[in-house]
Homo-oligomer: A and B are copies of this chain.
Amino acid sequence: MIVELISVGTELLLGNIVNTNAAYLAQQCASLGLSCYYQSVVGDNVDRLRRALLTALERADIVMLSGGLGPTTDDLTKETAADVMQMPLEMDGHSLERITSFFEKIGTKMTENNKKQALVPRGALVLDNENGTAPGLILEKDHKRLILLPGPPNELRPMFENSVRPYLEPLCTGTLYTRTVKICGMGESKAASVIQDLIDGQTNPTIAPYAKTGEVHLRVTAKAADGKEGAKLVKPVVKELKARFGVHIYTTDPEVTLEQAVVELLAANHLTACTVESCTGGMLASRLINVPGVSETFKAGYVTYSNKAKRRILGVKKGTLHKYGAVSAQVAQEMAEKAALVSKCDVTVSVTGIAGPDGGTPEKPVGLVYIGCCVCKKTTVRECRFTGSREKIRESAVSAALTLMRQCVLEYYSQVTFGK
């Protein structure tokens, strides 16, 4: 089966947004074993969209369109698709009801233009949108399939997962089976050098390293007839990676994030946690709290951005701040230890650093961050030097803090040893 992607939106043609939908859909299609030879982007223009659609329908069995399903007059994807497939639009009672109740739920008056979103090509499959108003649509005719998806990624992705993937699976022969081995506390070049021989000799499965902030993901992908064969092919490779990376691997589950692995580790040891943040300013707490069910583990967080807050809220000594400066190993240590006293949590982690763009000196440049982690009165402090924008430095610091939390808990409770 051949699939082709068309992204609709003048904002893409103007370069105002990056086409992350195309990357997401391409990945999904590859994982289903669908071949994709072309992707295209076209603006909110009936003629050109029509031409792109006709070309794609000639070359592919399935054409997937994203964007242009909204309520405004420049949203034309559905109208154009209905016209090309000769399936006239009619009001869909179910969608109208869903859209109406969506607006009731969020307590906003539904405007007239939203009704347009309940118009559906006759005979089309309607895909409910759980995170927005515009329904997705599947139009089938003469062995060709058009799949229309809303543009906002938070609507498109769940709709693909919940409705489009189950629709496509029975049509697909062969699959790409993928497993991801996620590593923290090791850079990309180092990780790549550990497996260079495997990468050089690979055919099927293949291993591809992807650098994430503070993490490396190794994606192992096998081409196989089905999931079972894929799993069989991938298994020995994952085993080899586990042998090589050991404790640096925090998960082999594609869904599990570093923060989730940390929270699960804490919960498994019945530990409570608290964060004290300066330059990351709540970002670390926020990542932990994005894990559902974290309330058993995460108890409190302090954002002590100013020196005054460090002293008043935590009781960090004036002398320590004065002698070593707010960005120092000593202050990171005191922040973590004082937080343990104040919060009565088992694990406390502190972050203090210079996120920039200003505030750096030759001795303490932008990007210098100290992270402290106190587990049952034993404190470890790590000095890190990050590069990039203010946001990037803060994100790197958060990943490093999660990595240190994991390491300290593993060392203390599981007697695991980490190499330098």
Contact flag A208-B11 (CB < 8 Å), given A48-B38, A289-B282: yes
Residue in B16, B17, B23, B299 whose beta carbon sits within 8 Å of that of A309 in the complex = B299
In the assembled complex, which residues on chain B have CB atoms less than 8 Å from the CB atom of A221?
14
> Nearest CB to that of A22 among chain B residues?
B19
- A356 vs B74: C-alpha distance when bound (angstroms): 34
- A209 vs B105: C-alpha distance when bound (angstroms): 23
- A-B contact sample (17 more), CB < 8 A, given A74-B208, A113-B196: A15-B23, A15-B26, A15-B30, A19-B22, A74-B199, A102-B387, A106-B387, A111-B193, A113-B189, A131-B392, A152-B211, A280-B289, A281-B282, A281-B290, A289-B305, A302-B302, A303-B303
- A110 vs B29: C-alpha distance when bound (angstroms): 38
> Nearest CB to that of A104 among chain B residues?
B385
Whether A302 pairs with B300 at a CB distance below 8 angstroms is yes
- A303 vs B284: C-alpha distance when bound (angstroms): 11
In the assembled complex, which residues on chain B have CB atoms less than 8 Å from the CB atom of A333?
none
Whether A36 pairs with B13 at a CB distance below 8 angstroms is yes
A86 at the interface (CB under 8 A from B): no
A320 at the interface (CB under 8 A from B): no
Whether A358 pairs with B48 at a CB distance below 8 angstroms is no
Contact flag A15-B37 (CB < 8 Å), given A113-B196, A279-B289, A281-B289: no
> Nearest CB to that of A254 among chain B residues?
B16
In the assembled complex, which residues on chain B have CB atoms less than 8 Å from the CB atom of A42?
37-38
Whether B105 pairs with A387 at a CB distance below 8 angstroms is yes
Residue in B22, B72, B277, B388 whose beta carbon sits within 8 Å of that of A154 in the complex = B388
> Nearest CB to that of A43 among chain B residues?
B37
Residue in B102, B199, B299 whose beta carbon sits within 8 Å of that of A305 in the complex = B299
Whether A14 pairs with B26 at a CB distance below 8 angstroms is yes
Whether A38 pairs with B41 at a CB distance below 8 angstroms is yes
Q: Considering the complex, which residues of chain A in the window 1-44 have a beta carbon less than 8 Å from any beta carbon of chain B? A: 10-20, 22-30, 36-43
A168 at the interface (CB under 8 A from B): no
A166 at the interface (CB under 8 A from B): no
In the assembled complex, which residues on chain B have CB atoms less than 8 Å from the CB atom of A312?
300
Most buried by B among A72, A105, A188, A295: A72
In the assembled complex, which residues on chain B have CB atoms less than 8 Å from the CB atom of A43?
37
